[in-house]
Structure 1
Amino acid sequence: MDTTTINLEDFTCSICREIFHSPVSLSCPHTYCQSCVLGLKKPITLTSESESTPTSSLRIDSFSHSSHVHQPNQCFVCAICRKESLGYVRYRELENQLDTFETSCPNCSIVFTLSALRKHLEICIPMRSNYTRPNTDSRSTNLVERLSESQTKALQKAQQGENRSTFQCPFCPRANFTLNHLRQHIKKRHKNEDQRRVCPICSTLPWGDKNMISSNIYQHIKSRHRFDYDTYVNYEQDEETMMREALQASLLHQ
């Protein structure tokens, strides 16, 4: 195992803000989780033979990347640099690093490989100076059982929410926040609390998972939810279609 000092940000997907899972690279060459890059699809119309090849090299001759181009006829728009790429490739070197590089959990200091740490962070409680470290048995207890009564009610309201204009705080009983005000509220009032929460925004969407716990809810909301869904979203569409249309619209206004 490699015990080199690791900066977790170097192994964090810019879209989901979690440690990479099945990392893939575009031609730019930014890297994302495979499930995240699928949300970057853009409808394309091929007007010439030259456009049927990647807009720039996908480094398929590189040892660090797979030689197989996935979805070579599908255009992906990078969320960071906005460059277009036809297809994506597996980042083999990064996959190996995730399975071999070790680092300590920022919450409990137990050492894991990066791939194992991703799963561990879903259940690990952040340590505080006034917090007593739980024993091995209690660490496996479900997150919901550790929440206070008010936090449990907040979670239940978030999971049951159908109002897509305002949202329940996932930390406290306060509600009726707009998306922007919710971000500000969490940053001001709850930034130093355990950030493992169910997203109250995802919970209101038809495609959202009402039971999925984000390991860092503030970063998730900040990175994933950048506009008011009630204003811009057609709820008859699935998320992938809307992501494509949103990307296409943003390109037209550049």
Structure 2
Amino acid sequence: MAQADNIKCPVCLDVFENPVRIPCKHVFCQNCIDMQINVVEPKCPMCRAVFNRHSVRPAGDICIKISNLEGTCTSCSKKMALSLMKRHSLECNKVDKKYPQFKPIAPTTQSPKEDLPNRSTFQCPYCGLANLACESFVQHCLTKHKDSNAKVVCPICASMPWGDPNRVSANFLNHLDLRHRFEYDMFVDYSRPEDEMMQAAITASLQDH
């Protein structure tokens, strides 16, 4: 499989499946790059160059290359073209598809809560940069995208119990600057209504300053 090292997707780290090329010449699986283009300003996961979602093209040379190379499934030892390897790994009944079970590092009497929304980190709706804490998220948007006038959904508001994931901000940057200059977790009780919590947060933040 050593000769396949240069035909692995840099996102999923597996052999390319339906490889496509973007203008900066980097190649990815179709499904992997699709996760990057549902933002206003898609960026290459490798070099961060902005690209137009309509400029993604099939990487025919890579398709031919992986079709002409052969690999062996490490689980069942079946040989096949590398172009079929990723699909085979999903269907092979000898591949261990079990996820590691969570084990607490110490005994606890508390039951872990399930299906809690992520209110700690957010993804930029412009470029797709993920895992930004609230303060970093606001700073990133206001500096890196200060000239953008695109209408997008605020991921902070959408994560709230009262949030609407389909509500688009007419002026997103102004919304961030006015409404998200503080950390919600410091002042908000998520079980109380939005207006009540907003007033409490404003009052508390003013007292802190």
- Which bin holds the TM-score, normalised by the shorter protein? 0.3 to 0.5
Q: RCO greater where, 1 or 2, for CA within 8 Å and sep 6 or more?
A: 1
Larger-Rg structure:
2
Could you tell me the TM-score, scaled by structure 2's length? 0.46
TM-score, normalised relative to structure 1: 0.39
